[in-house]
Amino acid sequence: MRNRTKTWFLFALMLGILVAIGGVISASSGSAIWIILFTGIGLISTAVMYWNSDKIALRSMQAYAADPQQFKGLYDMVHDLAQRAGEPAPRIYISPTQQPNAFATGRNPQNAAICFTEGIMHLLDPRELRAVTGHELMHVYNRDILTSSVAAAIGTVIQGAAYMLMFSRNNSNVLFSILGAILAPLAAGLVQAGISRDRETSADHDGARLTGDPLALASALQKISGGVQRHPMSSDDHRVKAASHMMIANPFAGKIKNWFSTHPAVEDRVDRLNQIARDMGQQP
């Protein structure tokens, strides 16, 4: 509940930034058309990203549908946890990459997909893989794809509005326009990253509750973190960037713990999971 409240607060902050930029441009141009225009662009962008999120993410990772016979254990695991949650089971895909990672995507639980890389299938034991599956399923059941799609759409519109602010001909304060054009996208990026981190934290918590095994998820995250450092993805690949915020671990090597990170630090996640284990009567 605390993370959901924080997420809604961050959304309100993003909208506040957008309205402020629109207000400045409208004041300088003498027309409110820009606020209406930005709102329309935001709604269209959100709809397109939301409706096609699964296709975009799966294509970016070159994922293929998992064969039910070849991956029978994985199918049984996903369907068992979905039944435990009282929700429909998502489609299952495999990405042919050596980096250990996983992500869930789709506009709702009825049209969702969960993707595992070949690397994570080889790295984790069945207990750890089950814990990761629980985490990804909770992204689906918490409607986190809608949340991330809306945040990304608003962030994109803010960037466009800030660019327009900088080149607004009727704006008498050039310095203010330049500062606004620079700082507004930075602020939106910080807020968007904060929303993503909150959703990851919630999925850790809810996934651990679903599987009843927070220690397995903590162990999996530590293994995945090491695997990412050994097999990093290219941050210059825009296709991978499109799905990176959905993955259970940041797929790019380097400094992870910063304000613009879409994922909480692994150490913090492990500490929280260990505390959940203690609350459940388990000894880390």
Catalytically active residues are: 136
- Residue 94 β-bridge partners: 64, 116
Residue 167 DSSP SS3: coil
| Integer Cα distance of 69 and 149 in angstroms | 33
List all residues 6 or more positions away from 130 whose beta carbon is below 8 Å from its beta carbon: 77, 81, 211, 213, 216
Structure tokens at 170: 């009727």
What is the C-alpha R_g of the chain? 20
List all residues 6 or more positions away from 200 whose beta carbon is below 8 Å from its beta carbon: 248, 262, 263, 264, 269
Residue 96 DSSP SS3: coil
Residue 173 DSSP SS3: coil
Task: Please report which helix (H) or strand (E) contains residue 117, including its range.
Answer: strand 112-117
Residue 103 DSSP SS3: strand
- Please say whether the beta carbons of 197 and 264 come within 8 A: yes
- Please say whether the beta carbons of 140 and 109 come within 8 A: yes
Residues counted in the chain? 284
